[in-house]
C-alpha cells in the first residue's frame, strides 16, 4: 500500500508519544487513569518480557489494549508484521475488527493510513506494516498447526486465549521474532488476553504467578473490572446481581478455580472435598491401580486404595517395566493385596505388566459391563467415578506435593460429558482432548477412573468366611 497519505499531525504526535512510552493519551481522560492498562503498555514495550498475559477477569479493556498496541506498533515500525488470533474468523471479524474500527476512530487513524483485505484477512498500513487475522481453531486434519509453520512475524496477540488450544500458542511462539526484529531492536512478544479458564493458561501462567514462580521473561498482569475507571457502571452491576455464581466468581472476582463448563460431571466443591473427606468410605479391602505410561511417554503411576480412599501413590517419570512390576509386587505384600484386586492399564506397554504379574488388565475400549449404554468400559467407569465423587464417597490420604494436588483438581475438573447432543451411547471427554486442554496427560484421572472397575468386577474369595457360611456345625 503506497498511496499518498494526508498528513495528520495529531496522529503523528500520538505515534511519537507511543514511541516515548507515554501512554496517557490512551489510559487517561476526564481526570481518570487506567493504571493497570498503563502498566500493560509498559510491559508490552519493554525489552524483557516475551509473554505478557493480561486480564484474568472481565471488563479490563483487554481488547482495546490489544488493538491499540498492534495499531501503534505497526505505525511506529514500518514494514513490520503482526498477528491477532482467535478461535474463529467470525469472532475476529464481528468482534475484534469492530474494536479495531473504534480504536482507529478514537486516535485519528483514518482510512488514508490503512486498508483491510477481506479476501486474505489482514490490515495493511501505508508504511507497509500489516496485521494478519488468524483462525486458531483446532482442526483434526492439522493437529500440529502446521498451517502456520512458514509464517514470519514481528510479534502478535492471542485474544480470548481460553478458547485456544495449547498447540496454537506453541507454534505461534516459534513464528515471532522473525520479521525485522533486529532492524528495530524489538524482542518478539506474544500478548495474551483471557478470562479465567482452567486449561493450559491455568497451569502455564496462573499457578506459577500465584506461587511467584513465573520465569523472568513471562509476566501475568491481572486486572479486575473495578480497576477500569472507564467501564460502564451498569456492566459491573449486571455482574454483581447475576444469578450465576460461576460467572460472578470468574468474571467479577477473577477466581480461576471455578469452572463454567456445563458438561462438567463433578461440582468443583465436591472435587475439593476429596482431600479432607470425613465421609469417604474405607472398607478394609485394598486395591492397586496402575496407569502405565504409553510406550514410554507420559508418567506411570501406581496407586493403593482402601475402599474408596487413595492411601498411597508412586510415580515413575521414566522407568523400566521391571521396576513397575517389582513395585507392584512389593505393595501387594505390604498391603496383603491379591492378584485379583490389582488392575493395570493394558493398552500400550501395560500388557507386559499384566502378563508378568498375572493381574487384571484394563482395556479402555472394551465393552461396558451389563450392556449398559456407554461407549466403552472407560466411559462406564468415568460415570461411576463422577457419581462417587458427587456423593462424597471418594477420599485422598496419600502424601503429594501441592502442585500434584492442583493437577488432580484440574484433571477431575475435565471429567466431562462429550457429544451431549448425539443420540448414541454416552461418552466422556477423550483423553487426547483433555491432554490438549491441560497440557499434560491426565494420569491421575485415569487411576481414579480405573478404580471404578471393581464396582462391577470385585470377585475373588468369599469375605468373612465362618463355619456357618456352608452350614457346618
Band of pLDDT at residue 398, cut at 50, 70 and 90: very high
**Per-residue pLDDT, 468:** 43
Neighbours of 66 (CB within 10 A): 26
* Locus of grid cell 484474568: 56
Band of pLDDT at residue 473, cut at 50, 70 and 90: very low
**Residue 406 is part of a domain; what is its CATH number?**
3.30.420.240
Using the predicted structure, report yes or no on whether residue 318 has a pLDDT greater than 90: no
**What mean pLDDT is reported for the chain?**
90
The pLDDT tens digits of the residues spanning 9-43 come to 999 999 999 999 999 999 999 999 999 999 999 99
- Measured distance CA(13)–CA(124) in Å, rounded: 21
- How many alpha carbons lie under 13 Å from residue 213 in its C-beta half-sphere? 9
Give yes or no: residues 125 and 159 share one domain: yes
**Per-residue pLDDT, 1:** 57
Give yes or no: residues 245 and 159 share one domain: yes
**Per-residue pLDDT, 322:** 87
Give yes or no: residues 223 and 334 share one domain: no
Give yes or no: residues 280 and 361 share one domain: yes
- Measured distance CA(190)–CA(362) in Å, rounded: 43
Band of pLDDT at residue 321, cut at 50, 70 and 90: confident
- Measured distance CA(431)–CA(66) in Å, rounded: 34
Give yes or no: residues 395 and 279 share one domain: yes
Give yes or no: residues 143 and 279 share one domain: no
Per cent of the chain over pLDDT 90 is 68
**Per-residue pLDDT, 462:** 46
424 domain residue, yes or no: yes
Give yes or no: residues 77 and 136 share one domain: yes
Q: Are 133 and 59 in contact (CB under 8 A)?
A: no
Residue range 184-207: mean pLDDT, rounded: 93
Using the predicted structure, report yes or no on whether residue 463 has a pLDDT greater than 60: no
pLDDT, greater one: 424 or 72 = 72
Band of pLDDT at residue 319, cut at 50, 70 and 90: low
Residue range 391-413: mean pLDDT, rounded: 91
**Per-residue pLDDT, 347:** 81
**Per-residue pLDDT, 378:** 96
Residue range 59-81: mean pLDDT, rounded: 97
Using the predicted structure, report yes or no on whether residue 171 has a pLDDT greater than 50: yes
Segments forming the whole domain that contains residue 417 = 268-455
**Per-residue pLDDT, 427:** 94
Least reliable range by pLDDT among 74-78, 264-268, 292-296 = 292-296
From 351, 379, 353, 385, select the one nearest 365 (Cα to Cα): 379
Using the predicted structure, report yes or no on whether residue 455 has a pLDDT greater than 70: yes
Give yes or no: residues 236 and 350 share one domain: no
pLDDT, greater one: 198 or 219 = 219
Domain termination site, one of 252, 277, 299: 252
In this structure, are strands 122-125 and 130-135 parallel, antiparallel, or unpaired? Answer: antiparallel
**Per-residue pLDDT, 268:** 82
Residue range 46-51: mean pLDDT, rounded: 98
Using the predicted structure, report yes or no on whether residue 260 has a pLDDT greater than 70: no
Per cent of the chain over pLDDT 70 is 92
From 400, 387, 398, select the one nearest 428 (Cα to Cα): 387
Give yes or no: residues 29 and 73 share one domain: yes
Residue range 116-145: mean pLDDT, rounded: 94
Q: Are 188 and 178 in contact (CB under 8 A)?
A: yes
pTM as predicted:
0.68
371 domain residue, yes or no: yes
460 domain residue, yes or no: no
Cα–Cα distance list, 455 to 308, 360, 382 (Å): 10, 14, 12
**Per-residue pLDDT, 352:** 86
Least reliable range by pLDDT among 5-14, 240-249, 386-395 = 240-249
Residue range 173-178: mean pLDDT, rounded: 97
Band of pLDDT at residue 466, cut at 50, 70 and 90: very low
Give yes or no: residues 290 and 218 share one domain: no
Residue range 62-75: mean pLDDT, rounded: 98
Least reliable range by pLDDT among 52-61, 102-111, 325-334 = 52-61
Domain termination site, one of 219, 252, 285: 252
Residue range 299-314: mean pLDDT, rounded: 95
The pLDDT tens digits of the residues spanning 71-108 come to 999 999 999 999 999 999 999 999 999 999 999 999 99
Q: Are 293 and 316 in contact (CB under 8 A)?
A: yes
Residue range 451-459: mean pLDDT, rounded: 89
Q: Are 245 and 93 in contact (CB under 8 A)?
A: no
Using the predicted structure, report yes or no on whether residue 228 has a pLDDT greater than 50: yes
Using the predicted structure, report yes or no on whether residue 200 has a pLDDT greater than 70: yes
DSSP class per residue in 411-445: HHHT-BEESTT-SSSBEE--HHHHHHHHSS--HHH
Using the predicted structure, report yes or no on whether residue 420 has a pLDDT greater than 80: no
User: 226-240, 375-389, 418-432, 454-468 — which one is most confidently predicted on average?
Assistant: 375-389
Give yes or no: residues 373 and 238 share one domain: no
Residue range 427-456: mean pLDDT, rounded: 92
**Residue 66 is part of a domain; what is its CATH number?**
3.40.50.300
Give the single-character DSSP code of 82. Answer: E
The 3-state DSSP class for residue 97 equals helix
Neighbours of 320 (CB within 10 A): 10
- Split into its structural domains, the chain has a count of 2
Give yes or no: residues 77 and 165 share one domain: yes
Neighbours of 31 (CB within 10 A): 6
Burial of 17 by CB count in 10 Å (0-12 exposed, 13-18 middle, 19+ buried)?
middle
Amino acid at each position: 500500500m503506497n498511496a499518498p497519505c494526508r498528513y495528520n499531525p495529531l496522529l503523528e504526535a500520538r505515534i511519537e508519544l507511543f514511541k516515548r512510552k507515554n501512554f496517557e493519551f490512551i489510559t487517561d481522560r476526564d481526570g481518570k487513569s487506567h493504571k493497570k492498562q498503563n502498566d500493560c503498555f509498559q510491559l508490552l514495550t519493554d525489552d524483557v518480557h516475551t509473554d505478557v498475559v493480561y486480564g484474568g477477569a472481565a471488563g479490563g479493556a483487554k481488547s482495546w489494549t490489544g488493538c491499540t498496541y498492534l495499531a501503534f506498533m505497526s505505525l511506529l515500525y514500518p514494514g513490520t508484521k503482526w498477528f491477532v488470533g482467535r478461535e474463529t474468523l467470525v469472532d475476529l471479524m464481528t468482534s475484534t475488527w469492530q474494536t479495531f474500527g473504534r480504536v482507529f476512530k478514537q486516535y485519528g487513524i483514518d482510512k488514508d493510513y490503512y486498508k483491510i483485505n477481506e479476501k486474505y484477512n489482514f490490515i495493511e498500513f501505508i508504511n507497509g506494516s500489516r496485521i494478519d487475522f488468524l483462525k486458531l481453531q483446532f482442526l483434526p486434519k492439522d493437529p500440529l498447526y502446521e498451517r502456520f509453520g512458514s509464517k514470519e512475524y514481528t510479534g502478535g496477540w492471542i485474544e480470548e486465549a481460553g478458547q485456544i488450544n495449547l498447540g496454537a500458542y506453541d507454534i505461534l511462539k516459534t513464528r515471532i521474532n522473525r520479521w525485522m526484529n533486529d532492524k528495530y531492536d524489538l524482542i518478539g512478544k506474544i500478548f495474551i488476553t483471557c478470562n479465567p479458564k482452567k486449561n493450559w493458561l491455568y497451569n502455564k501462567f496462573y499457578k506459577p504467578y500465584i506461587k511467584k514462580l513465573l520465569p523472568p521473561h513471562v509476566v501475568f498482569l491481572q486486572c479486575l473490572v473495578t480497576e477500569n475507571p472507564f467501564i460502564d457502571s451498569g456492566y459491573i452491576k449486571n455482574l454483581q446481581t447475576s444469578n450465576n455464581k460461576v460467572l460472578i466468581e470468574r468474571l467479577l472476582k477473577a477466581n480461576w478455580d471455578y469452572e463454567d463448563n456445563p458438561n462438567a460431571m463433578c461440582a468443583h466443591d465436591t472435587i475439593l472435598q476429596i482431600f479432607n473427606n470425613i465421609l469417604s468410605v474405607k472398607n478394609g479391602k485394598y486395591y492397586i491401580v496402575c496407569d502405565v505410561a504409553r510406550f514410554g511417554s507420559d508418567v506411570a503411576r501406581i496407586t493403593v486404595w482402601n475402599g474408596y480412599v487413595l492411601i498411597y501413590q508412586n510415580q515413575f517419570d521414566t522407568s523400566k517395566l521391571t521396576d513397575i512390576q517389582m513395585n507392584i509386587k512389593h505393595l501387594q505384600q505390604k498391603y496383603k493385596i491379591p492378584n485379583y484386586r490389582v488392575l493395570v492399564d493394558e493398552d500400550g506397554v501395560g500388557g507386559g505388566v499384566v502378563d508378568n504379574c498375572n493381574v487384571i488388565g484394563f482395556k479402555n475400549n472394551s465393552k461396558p459391563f451389563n450392556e449398559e449404554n456407554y461407549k466403552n468400559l472407560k466411559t462406564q467407569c468415568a460415570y461411576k467415578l463422577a457419581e462417587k465423587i458427587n456423593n462424597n464417597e471418594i477420599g485422598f490420604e496419600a502424601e503429594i506435593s501441592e502442585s500434584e494436588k492442583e493437577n488432580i483438581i484440574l484433571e477431575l475438573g475435565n471429567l466431562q460429558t462429550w457429544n451431549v447432543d448425539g443420540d448414541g451411547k454416552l461418552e466422556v471427554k477423550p483423553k487426547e482432548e483433555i491432554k490438549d486442554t491441560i497440557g499434560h496427560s491426565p494420569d491421575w484421572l485415569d487411576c481414579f477412573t480405573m478404580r471404578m472397575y471393581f464396582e462391577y468386577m470385585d470377585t475373588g474369595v468369599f469375605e468373612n468366611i465362618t463355619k456357618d457360611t456352608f452350614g457346618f456345625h
